[in-house]
Amino acid sequence: MRCIALVVAAGRGHRFGGEIPKQYLKLGGVAVLRHCLERFINHNRVGTACVVIHPDDRALYDEAVAGLDLPAPVHGGARRQDSVRLGLESLAERAPDHVLIHDAARPFIDDATIARTLDALAASPGAIAAVPVADTIKRAGPGDAIAGTVDRTGLWRAQTPQGFRYADILAAHRAAAGGAEMTDDAAVAEQAGLAVALVRGSEDNFKVTTMDDLARAERMLAASAGETRVGTGFDVHRLGKPQDHVILCGVRVPHDSGLIGHSDADVGLHALTDAILGALGIGDIGSFFPPSDDRWKGADSALFLRHAADQVRARGGRIVHLDVTLICERPKVGPHRQAMSKRIGDILGLDPSRVSVKATTTEELGFTGRREGIAAQAVATIRLPGG
């Protein structure tokens, strides 16, 4: 693998005074951490992303990354540089050529900054995103009186990602272990005598440190929200398979016969999959997963739903809300509704509050009324970037 992103999320600085570390706070309904992970794993020059977490944050991490295909997280250490070193050690077997080390609290890392950082690594053992200091810099004395004006010529503010040749930065961190505390990886590299280039970062690539930062991030997200799309889906499967359950919205529900279908015949997930594909306008479930293909025989329909969500993500979009209605006399859906919302949320990495599962009968009319089959209809609301 040529490049792996190492995302450092082990910090617990409760600078917001709250219980939840800032990298797990929601931004646009999605954890700050997930925003940066999606940028890296969707970048065509980054193989995967590995996250360093605090051991106490495992549940927060699992919720934040649900549905993403990532290697297991690594537990960090007492200081940031210890966490980075442990993260780097964990990549030994994968031995990437390059590693991009990134702060989990910088959710607006963009594709161009990632590309510039990687480009610079062709000529330099290290390269970091940074922005030149534009404001005049003052040094404060006692009582916050100005004690002097600092020459800002040549001053840059360091951001992340900070990219390095993997073997170099691992050796530099090992050499620095137990030594003085350093606030970024470039400092560790500098101490090891490695040349580190500055590449243009972005003012948008700021670190969410305060509540004001989080509010600014929310405003930026809203401004870049682009357009809202809505799609609908509908599906029916016939009852009559000799088995003692049906699979509805990913949940096994006891019933006197099963649903007949090529896959697991989950009408709920099929309707949702079509709703998402419909919002994107890219065909239907049958065009991606033809029933003539033996690969999908008996398949878990979570696969189809996840694929549809991947299509949203690949376009830089996100699912805002899903609403599915199951139409049947039996089984009773009510007792399973919560489990269904949660299961769909788990499959897609969505908060269950964004997944509505409802049910109705047809008053014993029609094929659903005669209990010959189960129908489902769904609506998906997604947001796609503007332009």
Residue (84 or 267) nearer to Mg ion, CB: 267
Residue (82 or 266) nearer to Mg ion, CB: 266
Q: How far is the CB of 233 from Mg ion (least distance, A)?
A: 10
C-beta separation of 39 from 129 below 8 A: no
Q: How far is the CB of 170 from Mg ion (least distance, A)?
A: 49
The encoded tokens of residue 83 equal: 């966490």
What radius of gyration do the chain's Cα atoms show?
A: 25
Residue (61 or 289) nearer to Mg ion, CB: 289
Which stretch, 75-83, 235-243, 311-319, 375-383, contacts Mg ion (CB under 5 A)? 235-243
Q: How far is the CB of 326 from Mg ion (least distance, A)?
A: 13
DSSP 319-374: EEEEEEEEE-SSS--GGGHHHHHHHHHHHHT--GGGEEEEEE--TT-HHHHTTSEE
Residue (43 or 270) nearer to Mg ion, CB: 270
Which stretch, 53-61, 156-164, 234-242, 338-346, contacts Mg ion (CB under 5 A)? 234-242
d(CA 251, CA 255): 12
Half-sphere exposure at residue 191, Cβ-oriented, CA atoms within 13 angstroms = 19
Residue (205 or 273) nearer to Mg ion, CB: 273
Q: Give the other-Cβ count within 10 Å of 136's Cβ.
A: 9
Q: Which of 347, 348, 324, 354 is nearest to 336 (CA)?
A: 324
Out of 82, 235, 264, 274, which residue is the one contacting Mg ion (CB under 5 A)?
A: 235
Q: How far is the CB of 310 from Mg ion (least distance, A)?
A: 19
Q: How far is the CB of 131 from Mg ion (least distance, A)?
A: 51
Q: Which of 210, 164, 214 is nearest to 190 (CA)?
A: 164
- Angle among Cα 19, 57, 34 to the nearest 5 degrees reads 95
Which stretch, 25-33, 47-55, 231-239, 339-347, contacts Mg ion (CB under 5 A)? 231-239
Which stretch, 31-39, 64-72, 138-146, 230-238, contacts Mg ion (CB under 5 A)? 230-238
184 binds Mg ion (CB under 5 A): no
Number of continuous H segments (helices) and E segments (strands) in the chain: 12, 18
Q: Which of 374, 328, 324, 327 is nearest to 348 (CA)?
A: 324
Q: How many residues bind Mg ion (CB under 5 A)?
A: 2
Residue (269 or 312) nearer to Mg ion, CB: 269
Residue (185 or 235) nearer to Mg ion, CB: 235
Dihedral in degrees, nearest 10, Cα atoms 337, 30, 49, 250? 10
d(CA 72, CA 158): 28
Annotate each residue in 17-56 with x if it binds Mg ion (CB under 5 A) or - if it does not, as one string.
----------------------------------------
User: Which 250-289 residues touch Mg ion, going by CB under 5 A?
Assistant: 270
Q: How far is the CB of 288 from Mg ion (least distance, A)?
A: 12
Binding site for Mg ion (CB under 5 A): 235, 270
